[in-house]
Chain A
Amino acid sequence: MLKGLLGKKVGMTQIFDESGAAIPVTLIEAGPCYVTQVRTQETDGYLAVQLGFEEIKPKRVTGGELGHLKRNSLPPLRFLREFREKDPGVQEGDKITLEQVFAPGEMVDVTGVSKGKGFQGGVKRYHFRGGSKTHGQSDRQRAPGSRGSGTTPGRVYKGSRGPGHMGSDRVTVQNLKVVFVDAERNLLGLRGAVPGAKGGLVMIKGARKQ
């Protein structure tokens, strides 16, 4: 069955396990999600399940999306995301809740959009060493240094690391353990950190590498 769900990051805290050890957990308000479309080999050329999350007012959704959801008489939804799944085991129009998908002890991968950092220098962005503090240096402490060779090749290679926009990337964290599942409040507790800001959308999938 489909091992995937959409959720909203709530925040982090620490809780204690049975032995009394403190463990860091991220809370995610996960689901309930609706199956808005099942992609098949015949019609779409690939296999996937499209899930929708968070009901909103009809006026917040474009007409096209509204019509797309109406096909399965679903409410207006804020987010639509696809999960590649060979064996969906779900029907269009199904409602998926947290406890149907994940159980404590399982491992999951979480995808989100990392916090935006704006335009950053090479030291923060790629952990460049920067210049020397001493030896008569001035204004060189966070400088990137040389970007390439000399007359040959006479240019900077494409893809060279340097200052630029950082963050707001799609990031996946693999193998986070499910600490608890609260079916009543659709609350999922994962051990460790999850990409993105509080309130950001996250995709939760079953772990690829176990």
Chain B
Amino acid sequence: MSDLIRSVEAPANEAIPPLRPGDLVKVFIRIREGANERTQEFRGTIIRLRNSGNNANFTVRRVASNGIGVERTFLMRSPRLEKVVVERHSHVRRAQLYFLRDRTGKRSRLKQKFNA
């Protein structure tokens, strides 16, 4: 890809550590409410990670009240992303964890990985 293209793209966000599928993360997003800005948290498991430079993104799944799954996709270089905190890594054997969508309760647990 040409350097000209790269020069206009947003720089990588320093506040995002290396992420892996299966990580339990807290995503801090800047939200605009009328005139004032505040930070909102979104906590869940990364079920999909796409490393592609400028267009890199990841999808976080969390189970909200009444067992309703909520998935949100974030662009890694978006200025709305304040930071991402990894709370724990999981032992997973695939890149896309779409199987979690069909599981609820205890069956949707992932085994923790300590040495990542």
Contact = CB atoms under 8 A, between A and B. Distances in A.
A71 B5 CA distance: 37
A204 to B, nearest CB: 17
A14 interface: yes
A19 B32 contact: yes
Contacts of B32: 19
B5 A11 contact: yes
A27 B55 contact: no
Interface string B76-114: 011110000000000000000000000000000000000
Interface residues of A, number: 18
Contacts of A12: 5
B75 A15 contact: no
Interface residues of B, number: 17
Contact of A16 (B1, B2, B30, B78): B78
A27 B78 contact: no
A90 interface: no
Given A10-B2, A11-B1, A11-B2, A16 B79 contact: yes
Interface of B: 1-2, 4-5, 7-10, 30, 32, 54-55, 75, 77-80
16 contacts: A10-B5, A11-B1, A11-B2, A11-B5, A13-B5, A15-B8, A15-B9, A16-B10, A16-B77, A20-B30, A25-B8, A27-B8, A29-B4, A180-B8, A182-B8, A185-B7
Interface of A: 10-16, 19-20, 22, 25, 27, 29, 180, 182, 185, 187, 189
